Amino acid sequence: MKTSFQQTILVTGTSSGIGRAVAVHLAREGYTVLASVRNSHDAEALQQLGITRLIPLHPLDLTLPEQIKTITGEIKTRVEQKVIPPLYAVIHIAGGGQIAPIELMDINGFRNELETRLVGPVSLLQKLLPLLRQTRGKVLWIATPGLLPVPYVADIHAPDFAVNYLARTLNIELQPDGIKNILVRCGGIDTPSPERSETHLNNMLKRWPDERLRIYKARLINLQNGLKSFNSRRTAPEEVASTVMHILKAKHPRGRYPVGYMSKAGALFEMLPQSWVDAIFSLRERKGSAR
């Protein structure tokens, strides 16, 4: 297998959190890392780290087809002109998410998340798979245990249901080409995203119509209280970076890797019949609402 110094990795969503940790770790280990961000400020922040093999790419907003076209064109040109090593992996991390009942979700935010987590990554792959086919490379999808019906986080978990499908289907379609798709199933990871989601929720609690908020307010406050304990146990994003490093070096990687607080419990739940899981989460929600 080629050494990391002869491989380029594209990582999306590297302005903070898991994306940044993964990009920095891989670059320090010798990979040439193309770290995509949406704005110049974040690109400059990455540049200022002074890591030679960490190359910021901007702007790349995965909801904007023209930016995807431009960036993928630049990657192809750099590879063809041997400015960077051949593309070996694409790691999909970009995304965020809101906490809200489905009835009260910001529909534009939900649409944006679907574009960022699903449509944009598929468009990206359509243009980059010819390069990955040349290296028999890998595609990593960073997701939650998305097959669980966790209430009030549909904006996060619904795309993960689809990511699960995409990765498994691509494994079948691309098997003859030797391109492996791997799911990295993250539990609680210590990133800025939970704090941003809670801030968004607090703002929405002030803006939602009283007649609908009345239905959910006590449940959402109970959720917030539960998240305080959960958040204190979150795993450092560097653990995800180490897992990603292991996957990239593995000759025969598994299809799924759990990482982070409660990730193994999530994997266990996914093995149970869906009717059991739905009943367990319904009972959990009823008990929480009754407090």
| pLDDT (tens digit per residue) in 118-137 | 999 999 999 999 999 999 99
Gap between the Cα atoms of 57 and 43, Å rounded? 7
CA nearest to 31, candidates 137, 188, 164, 153: 137
Gap between the Cα atoms of 119 and 220, Å rounded? 30
How confident is the model at residue 170, as a pLDDT? Answer: 97
Gap between the Cα atoms of 254 and 264, Å rounded? 15
What burial class does residue 73 get, using C-beta atoms within 10 Å of its C-beta: 0-12 exposed, 13-18 middle, 19+ buried? exposed
Q: Residue 176 CB: number of other CB atoms within 10 A?
A: 8
Place of tokens 């930016």: 67
Distance of alpha carbon 26 from its chain centroid, rounded? 17
Using only C-alpha atoms, what is the Rg of the chain? 20
| pLDDT (tens digit per residue) in 192-239 | 877 888 888 888 888 899 998 999 998 888 888 888 888 888 999 999
What three-state secondary structure class fits 60?
coil
- For residue 249, CA distances in Å to 3, 180, 291 come to 9, 13, 48
**pTM of the entire predicted model:** 0.91
For the chain, what are the domain ranges? Answer: 4-290
Sheet holding 87-92, edge to edge: 54-57, 32-36, 8-11, 87-92, 138-143, 180-186, 256-259
Is the pLDDT at 285 greater than 50? The verdict is: yes
| pLDDT (tens digit per residue) in 137-166 | 999 999 987 677 889 999 999 999 999 999
216's tokens = 């959910």
Span between the terminal Cα atoms of the chain, in Å: 56
CA nearest to 116, candidates 247, 25, 15, 239: 15
Fold classified for 4-290: Rossmann fold (3.40.50)
How confident is the model at residue 127, as a pLDDT? Answer: 98
**Which secondary-structure segment (H or E) carries 279?**
helix 274-290
Flag the least confident range among 23-32, 89-98, 240-249. 89-98
Mean pLDDT to the nearest integer, 186-194: 85
How confident is the model at residue 1, as a pLDDT? Answer: 44
Is the pLDDT at 47 greater than 90? The verdict is: yes
Provide the pLDDT confidence category of residue 50 given band limits of 50, 70 and 90: very high
Flag the least confident range among 24-33, 215-224, 238-247. 215-224
DSSP structure class, residue 104: G
What three-state secondary structure class fits 99?
coil
**Which secondary-structure segment (H or E) carries 270?**
helix 263-270
